[in-house]
Structure 1
Amino acid sequence: MAKTDFKTIDEYQCSFPAEVQERMQAIREIVHQVAPEAEEVISYQIPAFKTGKKFLIYYSAYAKHISLASPWSEALLKEFAKELKGLKVSKSAIQFPNEEPLPLGLIKQIVTFRKNEAG
């Protein structure tokens, strides 16, 4: 990926192959369902969503996975511990391997949890 001065989520997503674009678009649509008031922004050169002054969620694509990111709270990691088992998880990112279907229900639950946390 040569371009690193993205201004919009569309610009970011269009820099990836169609199947990766579809996966990212599914996450984007979930965020808009859960938080229709969320503003689309680019932060750290990746797609992000803000509600007020707080960041709700980020996502980004890589060769082998898509990451859903935010500074995860202990409460969120504990709430979804069972569902996250088997995935690569850090304090700020959850990786969903490209060779597996995206767990859209889980992603929706995580975004909903973050929205409630962000208040």
Structure 2
Amino acid sequence: MKESDSKPASVDDYIAGFPAEVQAILKKVRATVTAAAPEAQEVISYRMPALKQKGILIFYAAFKGHIGFYPPITGDAKLEQAAAPYAGEKGNLRFPYDQAIPYELIGKLTELRVAQDKAKAAAKKRKP
């Protein structure tokens, strides 16, 4: 992203701040996550695009050499294993530009976060 202290006003503004090749990747990530979470709202949080339902589902962001995907994924051993090659030091995922971006995996991870968000919201409703 362009070096600036200002927060992007929208996801479109965020994406527009990158070179064309990174914009293309971000647009495809955006389409993938919004398709996987059709009820979620797009927001900017921590200066990154995010999807919010009851709570924040996911964040994604472009960096110098990769796309970052947050938060760390837990709760599904098969997806955790599939995401493991992309895990950074804190478990957040990094998808390098010089490798094929695993859009299908990104979609499945987003679907998992939607299910987890719904379960968390339901559990809160049941508490007195």
Q: What's the TM-score bracket when you normalise by the shorter of the two chains?
A: 0.7 to 0.9
CA distance in 2, matches of 1:11, 1:29: 16
Structure with the greater alpha carbon radius of gyration:
2
CA distance in 1, matches of 2:82, 2:33: 19
Count of residues paired in the alignment = 116
Partner secondary structure for residue 59 of structure 1: strand
Q: Which runs of 5+ in 2 are unaligned?
A: 119-128
Within-5 A mapping of 1:1-119 = 1-3=2-4, 4-52=6-54, 54-70=55-71, 72=72, 74-76=74-76, 78-91=77-90, 93-119=92-118
Q: TM-score, normalised by structure 1?
A: 0.87
CA distance in 1, matches of 2:74, 2:58: 16
CA distance 1:105–1:66, shift in 2 (3 Å) = same
CA distance in 2, matches of 1:89, 1:81: 13
Say which structure is richer in helix. Answer: 2
Partner secondary structure for residue 7 of structure 2: coil
User: What does the per-residue CA deviation read over 1:53-102, in whole Å, with 9 as the maximum and x for residues that have no partner?
Assistant: x00110000110000112x35314x3323312332334452000011111
Question: Any runs of at least 4 consecutive aligned residues in structure 1 with deviations exceeding 6 A, and if so which?
Answer: none
> Once the 2 structures are TM-superposed, how far is the Cα of residue 25 of structure 1 from its aligned partner?
1.0
CA-based RMSD of the aligned residues comes to 1.6
Q: TM-score, normalised by structure 2?
A: 0.82
CA distance in 2, matches of 1:73, 1:82: 10
Q: Among all aligned residue pairs of Structure 1 and Structure 2, give the percentage whose two residues are the same amino acid.
A: 30
- 1:59 maps to a residue whose letter is Y
